[in-house]
Amino acid sequence: MTDTLPRDTPAELVVIIGSGPAAWTAAIYAARANLRPLVFEGEPSREMIPGGQLMFTTEIENFPGFPDGVDGQALMATMRTQAERFGTRIVTENIVSVDFANRPFTLRPSYGAPVQAHAVIVATGARAIWLGLDNEERLAQHGGGVSACAVCDGALPVYRDKVVAVVGGGDSAMEEATYLTKFAREVVIIHRRDSFRASKVMADRALANPKIRVEWNSQVVDVLGEDFITGVRIADTVTGAERTLEVGGLFVAIGHAPNTGFLGGQLETSPSGYILTPTGWRTETSVEGVFAAGDVIDDYFRQAITSAGTGCMAALEAERWLAHHGIGESPVLDTAESSVGHPGSA
């Protein structure tokens, strides 16, 4: 990587990739610091839509400031509007590849011209790994009792005193099942093998809980229900026999996958693909001037509030990094001179 930091190119001061709580919080802070951030919020797809995983959450009760709860889509729309209020520009496209080997950095969108940036904040989040069933996806997207986060949704009144199912056999599944026993009448863990791959302490804790039972050697082959889940169809992985299990909620806990493929391996990541930030309590990545925030760096908490916090941190770090290198002290380019000149920017 070159050590020179050009100041005479029509590069953006900071580009934010993503549109979840981390991205919008970063945009709010960067915009209020007069960095005129440009946000690439992504495009709708089968797996993700702009706004991230909260767009599939109908009611959020644990985000501060909303004593009566808030709809996930409404929360994301409010954050987006707040970012726009301070001058954030938004492009509804994905970034499909990046060049972090030269400065200013180059980002290539889905359709528009390449964009150059002095600093970049990656806040692309992580997507839940689903079972891949049509009705599962439909009910998850419409608040029909299918979720990938028990901590986010399990306390909702709709699940209380119900029989709910958890799919998975790892530590996350054990944690989700144990958490749900606080609210559900019974929790059924559905696992495709005859033993868990979770750590012994987590598995033992779940198995010892009187409100948890296990359907061994079983996999979900269909999710039942029109407006709300009424049950699941499970198949025996040994005999192939199928039967219906009546449940009032389904929590899929088979893992998450960070949205980092577009980076092309240019940032240091964990074995599971999460971006690493070498210094504790910092968001700068292995490439100077590139910061990361939200679920794309977090395989542990995965909460909206923690994502928002790291978005704030990333924006503050980007601002200080730019100031340290004397970038952005002169007036920022006019919109007409911006490196973005294609439809979709706001």
pTM of the predicted model as reported, rounded to 2 decimal places: 0.77
Q: How far apart are CA 304 and CA 66, in angstroms?
A: 13
Catalytic status, residue 312: no
Where residue 341 falls among pLDDT bands split at 50, 70, 90?
A: very low
Domains of the chain: 12-127+256-337 (3.50.50.60), 130-252 (3.50.50.60)
The pLDDT of residue 9 is above 80: no
Catalytic status, residue 152: yes
* Mean pLDDT for the chain overall: 89
**Residue 97: both structure tokens together:** 């590849």
Which positions ≥6 away from 282 have C-beta within 8 Å? Answer: 313, 317
Q: Which of 149, 295, 312, 334 is catalytic?
A: 149
Q: How far apart are CA 105 and CA 290, in angstroms?
A: 9
Where residue 300 falls among pLDDT bands split at 50, 70, 90?
A: confident
Q: Which of 8, 71, 99, 152 is catalytic?
A: 152
CA nearest 191: which of 214, 211, 174, 207? Answer: 214
Q: How far apart are CA 215 and CA 189, in angstroms?
A: 6
SS3 content of the chain, % helix, strand, coil (to 5): 25, 25, 50
The pLDDT of residue 32 is above 90: yes
Where residue 145 falls among pLDDT bands split at 50, 70, 90?
A: very high
pLDDT for residue 2: 39
Taking the alpha carbons of 48, 16, 32, 10 in that order, is the dihedral positive or negative? Answer: negative
pLDDT for residue 52: 76
pLDDT for residue 200: 93
DSSP letters along 121-170, please? EE---EEEPP---HHHHHHHHTTSSEES-HHHHTTSGGGTTSEEEEE--S
Q: How far apart are CA 13 and CA 177, in angstroms?
A: 45
